[in-house]
Amino acid sequence: MTELIGRHVTDEAKGAYRNGTRIRKIKIREGDAHRVGALGRVIGSLNVGQLGLSAKFFYFVVWDDAPRFACGVAGDVIEALS
């Protein structure tokens, strides 16, 4: 894979979507660059459940329309494609 722009991890948190999982954005928040329906791929994940956030996992993804950029997203705004 081409070197990615943006800080990210490639770790896989236990119970999270595995690296390489195809995902779709299902929710949008103010300031988000990608709209509902955007497609991408997981490249890393962190367990943030202990922080009291709305999502248990935080993911690093590469969106299909920006394949060189690593982006961080909360797990409650994406779903795995079957």
In the three-class reduction of DSSP (H, G, I as helix; E, B as strand; rest coil), residue 25 is classed as strand
Q: Does the predicted model carry a pTM greater than 0.85?
A: yes
Encode 57-71: b = buried (16+ Cβ within 10 Å), e = exposed: bbbbbbbeebeeebb
pLDDT band at 1 (very low <50, low <70, confident <90, very high): low
74 and 53 Cβ atoms separated by less than 8 Å = yes
CA 66 to CA 59: how far, in whole Å? Answer: 16
- 28-79 residue pLDDT tens: 989 888 999 999 999 999 998 767 667 889 999 999 999 899 999 999 999 9
Tokens of 47: 């367990």
Q: Please tell me the predicted confidence (pLDDT) of residue 59.
A: 95
The residues, any chain, with a CB within 8 Å of residue 16's CB and separated by 6 or more, are 42, 45, 47, 57, 59, 75
